[in-house]
Amino acid sequence: MVEIGKTLLNSGWLAARSTEVDLTGVQLTTTHPPSGPSSPWMTAIVPGTVLTTLVENQSLPNPFYGLENNSIIDIADSGREHYTFWFLTKFPCKLAVNQHVELNFRAINYSAEVYLNGYKRVLGKGMFRRHSLDVTDILSPDGQNLLAVIVHPPDHPGKIPSTGGQGGDHEIGKDVAAQYVEGWDWMTPIRDRNTGIWDEVSHSTTGPVKIMDPHLVSSFFDDYKRAYLHTTVELENRSGWVANCSLSIQVETEVEDNICLVEHLQTQHLSIPPGARVQYTFPEIFFYKPNLWWPNGMGKQSLYDVTISVDVKGFGESDMWHHLFGFRKIESYVDSATGGRLFKVNGEPVFIRGGNWILSDGLLRLSKKRYQTDIKFHADMNFNMMRCWGGGLAERPEFYHFCDVYGLLVWQEFWITGDVDGRGDPISNPNGPLDHDLFLLCARETVKLLRNHASLALWVGGNEQVPPDDINAALKHDLILHPDFEHVNGNLMGKKIVVSGTDPSQYLDGTRIYVQGSMWDGFADGQGNFTDGPYEIQNPEDFFKDNYYNYGFNPEVGSVGMPVAATIRATMPKEGWQIPLFKKLDSGYVEEVPNQIWDYHKYIPYSKPGLVHDQILKYGTPNDLDDFCLKAQLVNYVQYRALLEGWTSHMWSKFTGVLIWKTQNPWTGLRGQFYDHLLNQTGGFYGCRSAAEPVHVVNTTSDELSDIAVEASVWDLEGTCPYYNVHERLTVPPKKTLTITEMKYPESQNPKPVYFLLLKLYHMSDHCILSRNFYWLHLPGGDYKLLEPYRTKNIPLKITSKVSSQDNTYEVLMKVENTSKKPNRENQLNKNIFCLKVGDDSYDDALHKFSHDTTENKLQAIFFQKINSCFLRESNRSRVVEINGADAGVAFFLHFSVHSSEKESKGTEDTRILPVHYSDNYFSLVPGEIMSIKMTFEAPPGVTPRIKLNGWNYCDGLTVL
């Protein structure tokens, strides 16, 4: 008997262009299967796209390198047949009596025919629909099965106008598919339009009765002391006889590492007629004071393990389903004070600070590992929401799993964008895809796929547009809230009264709002007028002005995003290493003229003539790529920290939230990003991390801060401290901004034109630092050019490192001390005792019970081991490095990087090990100050990593480990 459960089919695939294969699907899966990767067959990447496979086999150049995408033929010029491909694999599967097997494609773009052992099945169109084929009767008697799939591109791949533009000629909008693939102002066209088997393929084995699409809902009463788990499942009896079933639900929670406690176990008995599909709702399960799931920065992301199983009398276990579930309540309504949409989780208002997300990779090279890095990066920036933009994907369950784990609320849009569905050049068709029923089918499939995730916060009809009237009306009907989840008079937490008499788990969703578009109902001006943005470099001080943005919640505001020089060298030939020309205009402003490759990669200048002076030139004219990119990181840091600080300074009085456009690029783009496509963070990443911390003079937490102090010190370029002040015994109310005092140094006698400001917020009882913020500032009307000669200062440092490793995973703790001045023990300045922030050690706690593929290990208990508490110390070494220097002063803009060799290459070789998770980077230390930086990463097998420290005063870099 084959074990019950799912088996992934993610290896052993071959692919070939359909026009180069003379055989039929029947022949390929019976008499003439290919023997291996010999022409025209090649090793295929599944899940993946046609372009992914061609690039992996070096049949095409890397479209994300330099201008290579221009050498790849576009589907508009080649015709759809050029990107119509066969994919073929074989798999073992032999059944026992009364077992059933389904072949599952979680998503294909765009349509396909499937052949299994000579039998043909046709898959319907649509990029975001699931396909399950009952193949029980066509499996091979010997257990060896041949599977071939011919995949066709979207029906309307469109053409790319010579001027480029948003969504090309908009033809892709006629299909239910991702719209970004024709190119955007941040993206080059994807030549195959993402054609392929782009998501999970599996076969699943069950007994006579199959479990389908369980729906889990939590409801709360008595101020969250009482909670109920509501569960509805669909069951299908595929046998020819009445199935007498025992249907069980088990809920357990992890109490210690790998030790789980069963909270509830309930079994119900029912009979299902032959061939019938029935819906069954469990009696609600009561919990007293469950561990709640909280967004990032508000508490732990507690997740319960829910298992539903069905046993059939005379057969045994027939099917099992498993999911991690978070008890939480999300409310959302338009705030009367600000006009912005306000979110509450578990009764607590959440000031939204997050980012817009397109997708992880433009070639759909999606993986659990990449998703984990992407989403942990967002959590590391202290963000609490990600918006899945309507021109991209309905994101995958793996994406949502890590959002559950790291506490990122998710705004999920459907596949409508203003540029492709009603606006644009040429003017696009406002009626959406040609097949409205297909759109709604894909939408309902998406809801069922994702609705059990705690992180999913709301559904939105489209980006800067609403769906066509009939689609919009259907979505409003399908996603109507259950009465118990409607927002009434600002309070959902009354007695347990079921208004409708219908269990909420019987709804398609019923727990999350549906908003028709990204600029409606509490977003932007709320009326759908074009009132999001802007998307370019800004004057940092403008973000704090009362008139900067006039509405309560901005769903898109963007800026620059230049990566580090090593990324430019790794992703472009030498012609792309030329920095922009700085063209002085008669107006006094400077226009940046980028090279051709930067222009192709959608570079956003650091100047906006007429409005914003060049922010890089404020630090002096850069002389080469390294200098330009380093100064860009300074600007990135200031730009995004000011953006978030400005928004947060108006928390609740004017704003309820902001989402930055955008957090990353799904290719090697040069704009709007906090980390590049190679997974190296920019300075903006750490500017956001600083500004969005839960306590940042602004208290975004639910707890009052009492008996605290703020220390302010100013440092000049000579290493002296002309200003020092402490404000003691302060109380900061929860969810409030607090004005303490005005820092009067700029108005003092003879203030320095450029100076550093260090602010520390700490508990007076134990000197535990809640927030540390370092600023570099100039007097009004000035610039930072005095920092250029400051680079020659030799500031002494002492760096103590401690390394722990398990296999190829490293945890490194670096303690960095500015030894240019003896610390003054009478003040708080040098006592860097940082308080543990909410979630710092909880991120990895829930990375468990993720993979449940029965062929690997039935219901695996662990997918990732916690690094912090479960490290097996295979190596544990320490090192002290002292950097001598005769000067006193601030060690400015220090940043670590990890490499696979001693020296960082200035050529095309990229020695960096990526990704690396840093507790902080791009940091500065005043004289006598000490800071600890933790970094975790995986090194390639056989490589001993080297860690380098660079900084404004250490341009050549220092190998410190």
Q: Which sequence positions are flagged as catalytic? A: 464, 556
How far is Cα 354 from Cα 406, in angstroms, rounded to an integer? Answer: 13
Decide if 198 contacts 106 (C-beta within 8 A).
no
How far is Cα 457 from Cα 523, in angstroms, rounded to an integer? Answer: 15
How far is Cα 203 from Cα 6, in angstroms, rounded to an integer? Answer: 6
Region of 295 (left: φ > 0; alpha: ψ -120 to 50; beta: rest) is: beta
Helices and strands in the chain: count of H runs, count of E runs = 13, 46
Q: Determine the Cα angle at 568 with ends 565 and 571, to 5°.
A: 150
How far is Cα 722 from Cα 177, in angstroms, rounded to an integer? Answer: 60
Burial class (CB in 10 A: 0-12, 13-18, 19+), 312: buried
How far is Cα 852 from Cα 371, in angstroms, rounded to an integer? Answer: 18
The three-state secondary structure class of 736 is: strand
Q: Which residues contact 841 (CB under 8 A, 6 or more apart)?
A: 868, 869
- For residue 309, give the nearest of 237, 372, 376, 245 by alpha carbon: 245
Measured between alpha carbons, how far is residue 873 from residues 124, 754, 806, 937, 941 in Å?
52, 46, 6, 15, 17
Measured between alpha carbons, how far is residue 271 from residues 205, 210, 310 in Å?
21, 13, 12
How far is Cα 330 from Cα 344, in angstroms, rounded to an integer? Answer: 6
How far is Cα 481 from Cα 485, in angstroms, rounded to an integer? Answer: 6
Decide if 804 contacts 876 (C-beta within 8 A).
yes
Region of 764 (left: φ > 0; alpha: ψ -120 to 50; beta: rest) is: alpha
Task: Give 386's strand partners.
Answer: 355, 410
Region of 536 (left: φ > 0; alpha: ψ -120 to 50; beta: rest) is: beta
Strand ranges inside 290-408, DSSP E: 304-312, 316-325, 330-334, 341-345, 348-350, 352-357, 385-388
How far is Cα 771 from Cα 705, in angstroms, rounded to an integer? Answer: 12
Decide if 550 contacts 339 (C-beta within 8 A).
no
Is cis: bond before 47, omega within 30 of 0?
Answer: yes
Decide if 719 contacts 821 (C-beta within 8 A).
yes
Q: Identity (one letter) of the amino acid at 779?
A: L
Q: Which residues contact 256 (CB under 8 A, 6 or more apart)?
A: none
Decide if 362 contacts 190 (C-beta within 8 A).
yes
How far is Cα 292 from Cα 309, in angstroms, rounded to an integer? Answer: 25
Query: What is the bridge-based pairing of β-strands 723-732 and 514-515?
Result: unpaired
Gyration radius of the chain's alpha carbons: 29
Token pair of 503 as six digits:
């269990």
CA end-to-end span of the chain: 55
Token pair of 378 as six digits:
């967002």
How far is Cα 877 from Cα 602, in angstroms, rounded to an integer? Answer: 44
The number of residues in the chain equals: 961
Query: Which of the 8 DSSP states describes residue 465?
Result: S
Q: Determine the Cα angle at 342 with ends 341 and 346, to 5°.
A: 145
Decide if 935 contacts 775 (C-beta within 8 A).
no
How far is Cα 523 from Cα 413, in angstroms, rounded to an integer? Answer: 14
How far is Cα 369 from Cα 373, in angstroms, rounded to an integer? Answer: 6
Token pair of 54 as six digits:
């061609």
